[in-house]
Amino acid sequence: MRVAVIQQKNSADLAANLDHSLTLIREAARLGANLVMLQELHRSLYFCQTEDTDVFDLAEPIPGPSTERLGALARELDIVIVASLFEKRAAGLYHNTAVVLEKDGSLAGIYRKMHIPDDPGFYEKFYFTPGDGQFNDGRSGFSPIETSVGKLGLLVCWDQWYPEAARLMALAGADLLLYPTAIGWDPNDDADEQQRQCDAWITIQRAHGVANGLPVLVANRTGFEQSPVDDSGIRFWGNSFVCGPQGEFLARAGSDDEAVLVVDVDMQRSESVRRIWPYLRDRRVDAYGDLTKRYRD
């Protein structure tokens, strides 16, 4: 299967951001992609640098205006699109939500981000309620979304640091792990610290691919976005990539420029890798009960 991940710079102009995303999706489809993934919260600047109640006005319902436009494009291009939106579920109830648009334009499923960070410049707990399953249908929050191109193990940004999330997606039959992301550096960090952080981020996601024998798609944003209240900001580190089920890089973007990464993924390779590295066979499920505890005292 030919897949694409899009690494994009954003501005304060919502309409321009979405139009640019659609243009980049068209480019990916022109290059033969069957599955295209956008970065986290691609419709706006990364607004979680501050806590501001007026920002909730950016949220939209799902289905809603963005899913209508993305669905129409998916239908026109005959591709599956993975996008990321600020969802207004109800008054005072908001989520960081990834959506999957099927080739016929329909909404195949949603995933509401489960792990919500709260760090300087990343005040997501102020805005987002943790996810509780797709469409309230009783499934686990870590359930793949079935599509015409496979079962998509869709997770979002901070979820990417948690092996439990990737494992549960794999155990539920995911064919791919996908991570739309918005992560970057504090410009005040020195070069060595910046490199350590970026390397750790890449390594942990490649490790999820290795541990579960699955390909991994990662779409991060790029560019500098200044804080709305002072001279600080975040320089998003890009480095979007696709890797195979042994963590091998299939495609990788740089840090500072937009990119449309298009690459072929062998969907049969996971079976071959899992035969030589049968991690699922050798799991000691009888001994893992303490994983449900916050900490083992």
Identify the segments of the chain with pLDDT beneath 70.
Answer: 133-140
What per-residue confidence (pLDDT) applies to 186?
Answer: 85
What per-residue confidence (pLDDT) applies to 137?
Answer: 58
Sequence-distant (≥ 6) Cβ neighbours of residue 100 within 8 angstroms: 80, 81, 82, 107, 108, 109, 110, 145, 147, 152, 154
Look at phi and psi of residue 219 and say left if phi exceeds 0, alpha if psi is from -120 to 50, else beta: beta
Report CA 86 to chain centroid distance, whole Å.
13
What per-residue confidence (pLDDT) applies to 230?
Answer: 86
Residues in the chain: 297
pTM across the whole model: 0.96
Query: What is each CA distance from 87 to 21, 138, 182, in whole angstroms?
Result: 18, 20, 16
Query: Is CATH 1.20.120.10 correct for 2-281?
Result: no
Given the structure tokens 């009960």, which residue do they identify?
A: 289
Catalytic residues: 40, 113, 157
Given the structure tokens 């290795």, which residue do they identify?
A: 210
For the chain, give every domain's residue range.
2-281
What per-residue confidence (pLDDT) applies to 231?
Answer: 84
178, 100 Cβ separation under 8 angstroms: no
Q: How far apart are CA 262 and CA 103, in angstroms?
A: 18
Q: How far apart are CA 144 and CA 124, in angstroms?
A: 24
What per-residue confidence (pLDDT) applies to 134?
Answer: 59
What per-residue confidence (pLDDT) applies to 149?
Answer: 98
What per-residue confidence (pLDDT) applies to 139?
Answer: 65
